[in-house]
Amino acid sequence: MKLLVTGGAGFIGSAVIRLAVSKGHEVVNVDALTYAASLENVASVSKSPLYRFEKVDIRDRAALDRVFDAHQPDAVMHLAAESHVDRSIDGPADFVETNVNGTFNMLEAARKYWDAKGRPEGFRFLHISTDEVFGSLPADPEIKFTEETRYDPRSPYSASKAASDHLVRAWNETYGLPVLITNCSNNYGPFHFPEKLIPVVILKALAGEKLPIYGDGSNVRDWLYVEDHARALLLVVEAGKPGRSYNVGGNSERTNLELVRTLCAVLDELRPAAAPYADQITFVTDRPGHDARYAIDASRIRDELGWEPSVTLEDGLRQTVQWYLDNEDWWRPLLGRKGVGQRLGAKG
């Protein structure tokens, strides 16, 4: 299959590309290379004859038309987005422009291409979205997000992703474009940009700095190893039913404080310091509108497509910490990028 992957120089998109190329798929990586991107993420496949890169911004419709025309993909996996909630609080405009208008451009470019080819039945447009579109859950462990949960986004980031999900569904209902949507929980793993909780904690711990926990650390997230997510996305594009959405989750709910304590314990073991790393934990002003709990019911993708997470949170965190210990050459230069290491989105 020839896949057009947007956002392939980012965290999840690059995991998708590494997996797709290893399975023999041809891939065109379409990425504008924003502050969050690194072509190092795909260095392991960049010499492959199966891989192509197009430095293109999804806000540029004419450039997208050219890319579709030049590469003639069988399917689109659309991951390009502004992805950091804290940045969306300080500067929501980029989120609307890329996540909403950019997705609109992708849909229109894909529709034009698909129409011109005679509407091939096998064509797929997979939109990669988040569980954050569903809002916040109460503490009751029986209650989880299903594909039928009402949309209730709370942050500029999740509102922009919800808007793009609605556009994608409308392009299926109105124009018949064979779309799919996945809504996934929090990812973690190698190549995670050092502004997100897990890499921030690992790198600040190693630097002997305070480990900032928003509020009282009781917010619950469901964590999924990024390579399990990549596997789910390839499965959905290959075997998912057009018009359908699939929730993807790790079945690994933890409070932020539990997660950070676990990371500290792994670091104590792998890189012992004079004092336990947990001594560096500090509580800071909460994120405005911080959703209390996310939890995913992933039974649809399990029952219909046979997907389940394969990496436990404990194993995945250990592998991730070891990866950051082994890959300073990757993360050190990223610490100099704009806003990295600073508290963003605190004011609301």
- The catalytic site residues sit at 131-132, 157
The minimum distance between CB 246 and ligand NAD, in angstroms, equals 12
The minimum distance between CB 334 and ligand NAD, in angstroms, equals 11
Q: Which is nearer to ligand NAD, 26 or 82 (CB)?
A: 82
How do strand 220-225 and strand 253-255 relate by DSSP bridges?
antiparallel
| 104: its two tokens | 């609109």
Query: Which helix (H) or strand (E) segment is 164 a member of?
Result: helix 156-175
C-alpha angle 179-182-185 in degrees, rounded to nearest 5: 165
Q: What is the DSSP string of 240-279?
A: PPTT-EEEE--S-EEEHHHHHHHHHHHHHHHS--SS-GGG
The minimum distance between CB 121 and ligand NAD, in angstroms, equals 26
Q: Which is nearer to ligand NAD, 221 or 277 (CB)?
A: 221
Q: Which is nearer to ligand NAD, 26 or 54 (CB)?
A: 54
- By CB under 6 A, name the binding residues for ligand NAD: 6-7, 9-13, 31-34, 36-37, 57-59, 79-83, 98, 102, 128, 130, 161, 184, 186-187, 193
Q: Which residues are 145's β-sheet partners?
A: 296
The minimum distance between CB 161 and ligand NAD, in angstroms, equals 5
**Cα 223 to chain center, whole Å?**
12
The minimum distance between CB 215 and ligand NAD, in angstroms, equals 19
Q: Which is nearer to ligand NAD, 189 or 277 (CB)?
A: 189
Distance CA 8, CA 149 (A): 29
Question: Residue 205: CB partners within 8 Å, gap ≥ 6?
Answer: 211, 263, 264, 267, 277, 280
Which residue is nearest to ligand NAD, using beta carbons?
10
